[in-house]
């Protein structure tokens, strides 16, 4: 009998594995502590370093794939494979206007740009952007892979304190890796 109890306990421990679900599982269908995994390797092609010039500013994006990032909401938490975007913006004189490259973005609620999911039928990845100080500029960013060296960037702000058009397009950011 003792061996049977030990066997059952060992079987239970070895077979208990966190629930893995596809990356684009709706949040409402995601149980607490589940893992949303990039099973189709949809995120990896976007990882890299990209540069562009826009209105005299040099923008450098650092896109990394992070596995099992803890996503917390007041009544739910789960783990998800995500893309994280960090960036540096410099003016034409080389002065840094904004730099999130070395910020610890996990423990605060500003400057984060995290993928929310993929849109395979459109060849895009959707990101949520927390905005900068006081949440200014929060919204959605869509990235589309144009080729091995270029992406396009569509930005849809949801908070407009200053007079901005409804969206901005940054076409053809070029990879530098």
Across 61-70, 75-84, 98-107, least confident range:
98-107
> CA-to-CA distance for 32 and 6, rounded, in angstroms?
29
Give the pLDDT score at 44.
93
In order, the DSSP letters of 55-70 are TTEEEEEEEEEEEEEE
Token output for 110: 């500003």
The confidence band for 92, taking pLDDT boundaries of 50, 70 and 90, is very high
pLDDT at 168 over 50: no
Domain ranges for the chain, please list them.
20-175
**CA atoms of 59 and 123, how far apart (whole Å):** 23
CA distance to 55, 56, 102, 168, 170, per residue, from 95 (Å):
14, 12, 17, 23, 21
The H-or-E segment that residue 39 falls in is: none
Provide the sign of the torsion angle of the four alpha carbons 99, 100, 101, 104, taken in this order.
positive
7-11, 108-112, 159-163: which is most confident: 108-112
Tokens of 78: 């789960």
Can you give the pLDDT at residue 8?
41
Q: What pTM was computed for the model?
A: 0.76
Per-residue pLDDT reduced to its tens digit, 6-57:
444 434 433 445 699 999 998 888 999 999 999 999 999 999 999 999 899 9
Q: Pick from 58, 6, 57: which is nearest to 176 by CA?
A: 58
């Amino acid at each position: 009998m003792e061996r049977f109890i030990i066997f059952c306990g060992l079987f239970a421990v070895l077979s208990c594995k966190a629930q893995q679900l596809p990356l684009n599982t709706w949040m409402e269908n995601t149980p607490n502590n589940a893992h949303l995994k990039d099973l189709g390797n949809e995120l990896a092609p976007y990882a890299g370093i990209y540069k562009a010039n826009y209105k005299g500013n040099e923008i450098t994006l650092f896109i990394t794939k992070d596995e099992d990032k803890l996503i917390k909401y007041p009544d739910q938490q789960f783990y998800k494979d995500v893309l994280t975007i960090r960036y540096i913006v410099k003016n034409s004189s080389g002065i840094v206007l904004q730099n999130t490259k070395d910020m610890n973005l996990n423990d605060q609620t500003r400057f984060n740009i995290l993928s929310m999911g993929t849109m395979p039928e459109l060849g895009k990845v959707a990101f949520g952007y927390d905005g900068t100080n006081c949440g200014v500029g929060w919204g959605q960013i869509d990235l589309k892979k144009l080729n091995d060296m270029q992406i396009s960037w569509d930005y849809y702000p949801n908070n407009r304190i200053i007079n901005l058009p409804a969206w901005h397009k940054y076409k053809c950011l070029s990879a530098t890796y």
